[in-house]
Amino acid sequence: MMNARSYQGNPQKNSPALGATLAFLGVNGLLALLHGSQGCSSFIRLQLSRHFREPIPLNSTALLEDSAIFGGWEYLKKGIAVAADKYKPQIIGVMSTGLTETFGDDMVSALSSLRSERTDLLDLPVVLASTPDYIGSMQEGYQRTVESLLTTLTANSEIAEEVSGSSKAEEDSKARGQSESLPAVVLLPGCHLTPGDVDELKEIVSLFGFQAITIPDLSISLDGHAELEAAPLVQGGTLLEDFRRLAKCRACFSFGLSMEKAGDFLKRTYGIPHTNFPSLTGLAAADSFILTLARLTGRPIPEKVLRQRDRLLDTLVDFHDQLGKLRVAVALEMDLLYSLSSCLAEVGAEITLALAASPAGIHRLSLPVPIEVGDLEALEEGAQTSTLIIANSNGRQAADMLKKPHLRAGLPVFDRVGYPQKCWIGYEGTQQFLFDTLNSQSK
Amino acid sequence: MFTNLTKLDLKDKPSLAEAGSPKLCMKALPGEGAERSCAYDGARVVLMPITDAAHLVHGPIACAGNSWDNRGARSSGSQLYRRGLTTDLLENDVIYGGELKLKEAILEIAAKHQPKAIFVYATCVSALIGDDMSKICAEAEAELPIPVIPVNAPGFLGDKNIGNRIAGEVLFERVIGSGDVSAEKIPLSINLIGEYNIAGDLWGILPDLKNLGITLQTAITGDAKFDDLRSAHRACLNVLICSKSLTNLVRKMEIRYGIPFIEGSFYGIHDTSATLIAIAKALQDPDLLVRTQAYVQKRERETRAIIAHHKKRLENKQAILFTGGVKTWSMVSTLAELGINILAGGTQNSTPEDFQRMKELMDPTAQIIEDTSSAGFLKIIAEKKPDLIVAGGKTKYLAHKTRTPFLDINHGRKLPYAGYEGMVTFAESLTRTVFSPVWGYLRAEFPPVGG
């Protein structure tokens, strides 16, 4: 149906560079620099700002007409140098765009050329993420950026530990009140998780007695807190030192199929056992995560968690009839599409339509209906018999036209408040998601 | 392939730069964090409010996907303009070219959505891979009963202003006068140029025009229908609202169709009255002028009476103003109307003329904001500690972090501020933010010192 068209009508896709921005925004002291024209960064700032209701620090190499002829290589060198001099970031994160990937700008050689000219910048970590606008969606851009963050910033991890013994990083983390006696685990949340979700994830892990290193950590950068001052750099998020402590972690958990590769990198490079959880929403998904944690610690499941599970079970019983009547059309980025749809299918709801923003993972994830790649015009065409639409705020045109209730999820959500803080995972988040779904059916 | 622009007139006038204007519309440096936008954005701002046309973006997802249906331009009729349409160029299109896909897309959109016209926007990628958009649009047009209009303003051409100008050229060459061959003028009619009906601004101005017997032929392009735009050449007068970016359009319309133009603004009591009177004078109808003079006096009295209690509370508050275009100077007098002093003012996307006008209206001690990046903006807030900030939506959450009352006057806002009615709404909004109880909670120490 949707593949027959030569255009996207009301796209649900966000650009890969927007996903890259999101990942970079979870790393403390980082300056995000988009290699492209000024509109690329302007649109991303506006889109993320109206979703998170936060200022979005995103710089640009501000390409102009001459770059279309000569390429943007020199602009990139200059951009990194100017940003480093003016803003003194701890890390610079660069993402490419359709424009610069079409030129074929080689970011790696630009960086090494700059470093040979500016030896004072040799020690400044620069993370390069290749995110051409014409490949994939937000999820792919975010995924590639997390992979680049890991490969670039953990580079000297083991060596640093060996040489310095009790490293400065350890002292710093002690100073921050983290006890080194707690075993550490790495959490790699996908872009389908909100800052509220990441917060909950860290909470669950700490109930099992783990200290978490979360990459990226949006729960302390884009959680919408009244900080002391805004800055052109990311404030909050994963610390640079934490990347260098990764090698010592007991285990790595990645969330969303898109994060599997990043976790596998840590397993391959540092021998950290890695488990991927495609979803954390729904009873089976939450059980799988909780049981994994319990096995790893050898401890019983905490009372609080068991209580939350019992509450969820009670909700399932109380509302099984209403849940069974739901006919839901879902259009979201793949990992979130899979998480929410599989949760609904598990409790007896019918998924009538599952539209992914891009094909990533389409052959490995399965739902009771075939997953299709499609836009929100396809949602309009395919959701006629549904009783509920789940999509980002841009689904409002389809919902208005079909006169269906519309539960907002994903990004952007700009016409409802509180979405960055909302939690959709674990027993409690699942229960809340089902409540929202059921309430949407009330007249 | 690109529209041949007449030279920017600001280049011919070095005197203004010497008179102390910051370097406006200059190239942004890579990495400096100027936070401006691109030519494509400028073109879409001007053309996308045309309500019954389809707007197809020929590019990868970044150009349309991150931005469709995100401006507050409102429509009283068709909602077609809000639809996000893009060829969504993928890797293979970049390699093999996107021309075939574009033509198919145009034909499919024409069939499914029945638009009055289709505007097709070039982007950086479509321009770089060498797609001949003009040729494809012409081919598609030959197969369709509607105009298919290429807009060649790829992002890398420059910032927003250049895109605004290209959009103006497109309107002049391809839309205005294209369907309606009659040259007969419509009595007492005007076009409002650069009025985009943000948050329904236009609807705040229309009742006053109607009361005075002035006919709005079309706004360019707020709540505009394609056919009304085609007949825009039959108006007696062009009123340029959003200052300079569409000056070329009105100059060309003056030459080809003999339509004189004036500049004006509908922000604030003073400027609204001055603009209405200027319109009456320019329409050269003595009776209209007399009517208008009496009318604006009455409306000023009424409006001032309604906002008096707001003025009393807002008087002597200190503001920082940061905006662009006509609002640069128009907001100065609007704030002055409420007794608000301006500590510092800055602008993006404004011409030296706009800027000089702002400077003349402001207190000589007011500071000019030179560094328009977030960092520069934060620095000046920290220095000046204003009672309120009046600026565009993109600085909103930045301003909130400084715990300072803030009012969004650009395209993201929900309330109309134009005309006399708009002035009341504006005063109410200002009062709500300045006197909101939340600021005290944010400034208080917690836990309390010594408590």
Please state which CATH class domain A157-302 belongs to.
Answer: alpha beta
State the CB neighbour count (10 A cutoff) for residue B9.
14
Q: Considering only CB atoms, which chain B residues are within 8 Å of A63?
A: 30, 124, 156
Rounded Cα distance between A244 and A30, Å, is 16
Domains of chain B from N-terminus onward? 29-175 (3.40.50.1980), 189-299 (3.40.50.12380), 310-441 (3.40.50.1980)
Q: With an 8 Å Cβ cutoff, are A40 and B442 in contact?
A: no
B91 near A CB under 8 A:
yes
Distance CA B50, CA B42 (A): 14
> Which of A38, A83, A84 is closest, CB to CB, to B37?
A38
Judge: B35–A39 Cβ closer than 8 Å, yes or no.
Answer: no
Which residues of chain B make contact with A39, given a CB cutoff of 8 A? Answer: 37-41, 63, 155
The verdict on a CB contact (< 8 Å) between B155 and A38 is: yes
Give A304 to chain B, closest Cα distance, Å.
Answer: 30
Would you state the pLDDT for residue B324? 65
Note the pLDDT of residue A68. 77
* Closest residue to A80, CB basis, from B31, B39, B124: B31
The chain A residue lying nearest B31, using CA atoms, is: A79
Taking CB atoms and an 8 Å cutoff, what residues of chain B touch A5? 105, 108
Low-confidence ranges of chain B (pLDDT < 70): 1-26, 242-243, 324-327, 348-352, 354, 451
Cβ neighbours of B28 in A, within 8 Å: 38, 60, 62
Flag if B31 and A40 touch (Cβ within 8 Å).
no
> Which of B27, B29, B64 lies at the smallest CB-CB distance from A11?
B64
Contact in structure between B202 and B192 (CB atoms under 8 Å) = yes
- DSSP-derived secondary structure letter, A323: H
CATH number of A16-153: 3.40.50.1980
Shortest distance, CA A216 to any CA of chain B (angstroms) = 22
Which residues of chain B does A64 touch, with a Cβ-Cβ cutoff of 8 Å?
Answer: 27, 156-158
- For B151, phi and psi rounded to 5 degrees? -120, 100
Q: Enumerate residues 109 to 168 of chain B having a beta carbon within 8 A of any beta carbon in chain A.
A: 109, 112, 123-125, 127-129, 154-159
Please indicate if any CB of chain A lies within 8 Å of the CB of B383: no
Sheet holding A274-277, edge to edge: A211-214, A184-189, A251-255, A274-277
**8 Å CB contact of B157 and A102:** no
The verdict on a CB contact (< 8 Å) between B94 and A98 is yes
Q: Which residues touch B266 (CB under 8 Å, ≥6 apart)?
A: B195, B201, B204, B205, B241, B272, B275, B418, B419, B422
Q: Does A38 touch chain B (CB under 8 A)?
A: yes
Name the nearest CA neighbour of A388 among A332, A339, A438: A438
A69 touches chain B (CB under 8 A): no
End-to-end, the C-alpha distance of chain A in Å comes to 32
* A28 near B CB under 8 A: no
Q: Kindly state the tokens that stand for A254.
A: 């990645």
Angle value at C-alpha B259, between B258 and B262, nearest 5 degrees: 140
For A134, the closest of B90, B104, B155 (CB atoms) is B90
- Domain pair A157-302 / A309-439, same fold: yes
Comparing CB atoms, the residue among B33, B82, B394 nearest residue A59 is B33
Q: Please answer yes or no on whether A65 and B155 come within 8 Å at the CB atom.
A: no
How big is the CA angle at B134 (ends B133 and B136), to the nearest 5 degrees? 65
Q: Is the peptide bond before B437 cis (omega within 30 degrees of 0)?
A: no
pLDDT at A163: 39
Residues 179-208, chain B, touching A (beta carbon < 8 A): none
d(CA B371, CA B33): 10
Mutate which of A134, A140, A415, A417 to disrupt the B interface (most B C-beta within 10 Å)? A134
Task: Report the chain A residue with the minimal C-alpha distance to residue B393.
Answer: A46
Helix (H, G, I), strand (E, B) or coil at A353: strand
Chain B, 306 to 345: residues with Cβ < 8 Å from chain A are none
Using the CB atoms, write b or e for B62-101: b if 16+ within 10 Å.
bbbbbbbbbbbbbbeebebbbbbbbbbbbeebbeebbbeb
Distance from the B357 Cα atom to the nearest Cα atom in chain A, whole angstroms: 27
For an interface test with B, the pick among A1, A14, A18, A42 (most B C-beta atoms closer than 10 Å) comes out as A42
Helix/strand/coil percent split, chain A, to 5 = 50, 15, 35
Q: Which residues pair with A408 in a beta bridge?
A: A391
- Chain A residues 162-221 within an 8 A CB cutoff of chain B: none
- Residue for token digits 């300079």? B244
The reply to whether B39 touches chain A by the CB within 8 Å rule is: yes
**Could you report the predicted ipTM of this complex, rounded to two decimals?**
0.92
Query: Please, are residues B177 and B257 in contact by the beta-carbon 8 Å criterion?
Result: yes
What phi and psi values does residue B186 have, to the nearest 5 degrees? -90, 125
Check if the beta carbon of residue B245 is closer than 8 Å to that of residue B37. no
Torsion region of B350: left, alpha or beta (phi above 0 gives left; psi -120 to 50 gives alpha): beta
Structure tokens at B185: 């003028």
pLDDT along chain A (443 residues), means of 10: 80 97 97 94 94 93 86 94 95 95 92 96 96 95 98 72 44 49 90 98 96 97 78 91 92 98 97 97 98 94 98 98 97 98 98 97 95 97 97 97 98 96 98 98 88
Nearest CA in chain A to B28: A62
Residues B263-294 as b/e (b if ≥16 CB within 10 A, e otherwise) read bbbbbbbbbbbebbbbbbebbebeebbebbee
The nearest alpha carbon in chain A to B89 belongs to A134
What pLDDT sits at residue B393? 75
Q: What are phi and psi of A144, to 5 degrees?
A: -65, -30
Residue B412, chain A, CB below 8 Å: the answer is: yes
Q: Which of B35, B85, B112 to mutate to test the interface with A (most CBs of A within 10 A)?
A: B35
What residue spans define the domains of chain A?
A: 16-153, 157-302, 309-439
What is the CATH architecture of A309-439? 3-Layer(aba) Sandwich (3.40)
| pLDDT score for A156 | 63
Q: Spell out where A4-52 has E strands.
A: 8-9, 30-34
Count of CB pairs separated by less than 8 Å, A with B: 244
Q: Do B60 and A134 touch (CB under 8 A)?
A: yes
pLDDT tens for each residue of A23-57: 999 999 999 999 998 899 999 999 999 999 999 99
